[in-house]
Amino acid sequence: MAASKMILVLQLTIGLSFAFGIDCSAYTCKTPDQVWYPNQCGFNNNITNTYYVQPCQDSSLECYPDQQHSTSYQFNYTCQETYVPPVNSYPGEWCKTDDDCAPGLSLTCQNGICVGVSNGEYCSWSEQCNPGLRCTNNTCIPQLQIGESGCTWDYDCVNNAACNIISYSNPSQNTCYGFHSFKVHDEVGECYSGFHTLCQYYYCAQNSDGKSYCTDLFYTLQGPGSQCDVNGRGCYSNKDSFFTPPYSIEGECDCGLNSEGNSYCEVLPGDAPNQQWLNIFNEWVNSPELLNCNTVKRFDSNCVQTYWSSKQYNAFVYYNLQSSLYNRLVGIEDCVLNAFAENYVQARNAFNNSNVEAVAF
């Protein structure tokens, strides 16, 4: 799993399938001979496994699945009022009223910021604690600084640090280190799921000596956005020969939104389409603003929005989507982009507009 996937999960309007096997749908524009009901924006032909789409004309409407016009084998899409999810802010994040703060955590909105539980007071979850604090033994207490021991997970450490887990049973052996501060082939503690927030290049692996180490930077051997093989595989990375045997990873293969029904490899951290995202993500990690966020929400775009300029925030959201959706958007037709990837289009427009303004003033 690439760093891009871990941070933000912004959804496309439609569900997307992983390509196992592999039978991806095709996505293309409505043809003139199709007669649709009013406000219809999509239709699937279950025989050819093709989705036909037409973007909504009215910009206040978005293309959503329509239960009333669908059956178990026939899905239709209708232009509907844009759904604006409620604000769901955590301690340290913006609000206008108490209702904007995440429900069930007893947060209040004070001077435009959600306020939670203070140092030394009772808590059930770290999400309740004010910035700078974590919930341990049902009490909000200060996060551990870099170099301090006793962490059991990353959220026990200050926002720009992560926990090197040597022992789950004896936390005194675990120490907080700067995020991504372990260099290539540095030894690291528990390498859970092959991914480590302490590793400069995100991945870790166990070597033949039984110890875990941070890996080289991985990129997709066939190049970013390359097509997967017929079995939905083939998204292999370069090999890291430090390990015995040499270690590599296999990226995910995802169905795209193209008219051929092709599937493509996700971008890995070392691939070019990921660079702008990693740059701005690292900028956030190294920024003083990060420290204003709740420990669990340290990388949440809502906290970024609270403390960064709209220009920086727009870049953060856009670059995240650009890298995480890269393989889904290879070869996409404009009609499909506008109908089924509205979030991406909006993020791109916001990003472009804030850059234009920056030049103009």
Ligand X SMILES: *[C@@H]1O[C@H](CO)[C@@H](O)[C@H](O)[C@H]1NC(C)=O
Find the part of the chain contacting ligand X (CB under 6 A) among 107-115, 202-210, 317-325, 347-355. 347-355
Binding mask 78-117 for ligand X (x = CB under 6 A): ----------------------------------------
For residue 168, state whether it binds ligand X (rule: CB under 6 A). no
For residue 174, state whether it binds ligand X (rule: CB under 6 A). no
Comparing every residue's Cβ against ligand X, the nearest one is 73
For residue 36, state whether it binds ligand X (rule: CB under 6 A). yes
For residue 195, state whether it binds ligand X (rule: CB under 6 A). no
For residue 71, state whether it binds ligand X (rule: CB under 6 A). yes
Binding mask 134-163 for ligand X (x = CB under 6 A): --xx--------------------------
Candidate residues 28, 40, 54, 295; the one interacting with ligand X per rule CB under 6 A: 40
**CB closer to ligand X out of 114 and 140:** 140
For residue 348, state whether it binds ligand X (rule: CB under 6 A). yes
Residue 180, number of CB atoms within 10 A of its CB: 22
**Where on the chain is the footprint of ligand X (CB under 6 A)?**
36-37, 40, 43, 46, 69-71, 73-74, 76, 136-137, 348-349, 352
